[in-house]
Amino acid sequence: MFRKFYVGLGASLAFFILPAWLLQPDALSFAKLWCMVGIGLLASLTQPAYSPLDGDAPPEDRGTARQLIWTVYLTMLAGVIECITLRYPQSLHWDTLSSVALGVAVAGALFRAWAVAVLGRFFTWHVRVQDGQRVVSSGPYSVVRHPSYTGAWFLYVGALVFIHAWIAAALAAVLLLAAFARRIRYEETLMLKVFGDQYRMYSRTVKRLVPLVW
């Protein structure tokens, strides 16, 4: 828990607070910027411990964990820079859209946390199958096959809409979806290899990321 807290705090300060301090120090007086730090901490605390350098990834992971974390880091950094340079100070004023977007981001984080909790010790940062693991189809896994990715997508895109970083939000929406799709391909290849027909039957009834769509 402490490791996740310190990693989350360090990343949040580096990607949200430091750019503001360097480029627009007055932005540090706005609550929305500090809310972004809170979002970063929430994201870190509700997922398995990880390392941004990701030096212990197994071959099956194919670098997907590293791709995901740096896609998040760089789009968040781009969003903060966009927020404090292109639309400052309007981007940091609180409005109805900000409240809705913050709600979406928090809901995404909680949905992801639910997925982590249901899978328990079998939820891992890397693509791997552990001893004793089984196909789980309850809770959020009855809605989509990869609820943690669905939740993360809403979390990070919602956070960027929250600070009115439209360009970064559009980039994150596309790049995160591409990163998730690549990871799902390798993850499901492994799941089919290990669980065979059990996972194949589950895949026929539950969509990957979007209910009834994909």
Whether residue 63 contacts residue 70, with contact meaning beta carbons closer than 8 Å, is answered with no
User: What gap in Å lies between CA 37 and CA 47, rounded to an integer?
Assistant: 16
User: What gap in Å lies between CA 154 and CA 159, rounded to an integer?
Assistant: 8
User: What gap in Å lies between CA 177 and CA 171, rounded to an integer?
Assistant: 10
Residue 13 token pair: 């300060």
Longest alpha-carbon distance in the chain:
58
Whether residue 199 contacts residue 129, with contact meaning beta carbons closer than 8 Å, is answered with no
Judge whether residue 127 has pLDDT over 80.
no
Strand runs (DSSP E) across the chain, as ranges? Answer: none
Task: Answer with the residue of higher pLDDT: 6 or 17.
Answer: 17
**What is the percentage of the chain residues whose pLDDT exceeds 70?**
96
User: What local confidence, expressed as pLDDT, does residue 83 receive?
Assistant: 95
Residue 156 token pair: 């990070």
Angle formed at CA 102 by CA 116 and CA 3, multiple of 5 degrees:
40
DSSP 16: I
Is 212 part of any domain? no
Number of domains, the chain: 1
Is 140 part of any domain? yes
Is 151 part of any domain? yes
Judge whether residue 112 has pLDDT over 70.
yes
The verdict on pTM exceeding 0.85 is yes
pLDDT in tens, 165-180: 999 999 999 999 999 9
The domain of 101 spans 2-205
User: What local confidence, expressed as pLDDT, does residue 63 receive?
Assistant: 85
CATH number at residue 120: 1.20.120.1630
Is 210 part of any domain? no
User: What local confidence, expressed as pLDDT, does residue 73 receive?
Assistant: 92
Whether residue 54 contacts residue 66, with contact meaning beta carbons closer than 8 Å, is answered with yes
pLDDT in tens, 77-86: 999 999 999 9
User: What local confidence, expressed as pLDDT, does residue 92 receive?
Assistant: 95
pLDDT in tens, 22-63: 999 999 999 999 999 999 888 888 877 666 666 677 777 788
User: What local confidence, expressed as pLDDT, does residue 51 receive?
Assistant: 67
Judge whether residue 99 has pLDDT over 90.
yes
Amino acid at the residue 123: F
Judge whether residue 214 has pLDDT over 70.
yes
Is 184 part of any domain? yes
Is 154 part of any domain? yes
